[in-house]
Amino acid sequence: MAENHTIKLYHGSNQTVEQPQLLKSTHPMDFGAGFYTTTNYQQALDFAKKVAIRQKTGKPTITAYEAQENILRSKYKILEFHSADKAWLDFVTANRQILNPEIDAEIVIGAVANDDIIEVVRLYENGVYTVEETLKRLKIKTLYNQYVFRTQKAISELITKEVINV
């Protein structure tokens, strides 16, 4: 039997999110509509600050969750990008252009196109960089990860463990 491996995931927002819900996105996002989390606390903190500023309400808040990785991987269809390669770039670009690529994955895992790399992706989208140039530039950036839960059933695996008001 596979060993249980607990992963800690963070969600940055302008409010506590103890009962995460699948909401429609109001703007283009890397992996489409879903509930976004990361294993990187700093990434969640940076995002929480941006959301509070953008929404002009609430205060930066990080909600920490735990999930059993073996359950996620055995129970749900997962699309996982192990690096910022051409497949990842095409998927992110399609989602950011609101082309809504059809996938049957309930969870998507991969690098986040944060502020440090989004300009590289934009230049690619606008035809300034080739695929090769874009991937070369991405390799020198620090890439954080994101776990995006695309169904309410998958979201239900998250157990709220801590709320951190910044």
Distances (CA, A) of 74 to 70, 77, 78, 107, 151: 6, 8, 9, 12, 15
Give yes or no for a contact between 39 and 145, defined as CB atoms under 8 angstroms apart: yes
Average pLDDT, the chain: 88
The string of pLDDT tens digits covering residues 95-143 is 888 777 788 899 999 988 766 677 888 888 889 999 999 888 877 666 7
Average pLDDT over residues 42-49: 93
Average pLDDT over residues 145-153: 94
CB atoms within 10 A of CB 78: 15
Q: Which residues pair with 62 in a beta bridge?
A: 12, 164
* SS3 label, residue 104: coil
Ranges of beta strands (E only) in 105-158 are: 107-111, 145-149
State the amino acid at position 134 in one-letter form. T
The string of pLDDT tens digits covering residues 57-87 is 999 999 999 999 999 999 999 999 998 889 9
Domain boundaries, the chain: 6-165
The reported pLDDT for the residue numbered 28 is: 75
CA 112 and chain centroid, separation: 6
Please tell me the pTM assigned to this model: 0.87
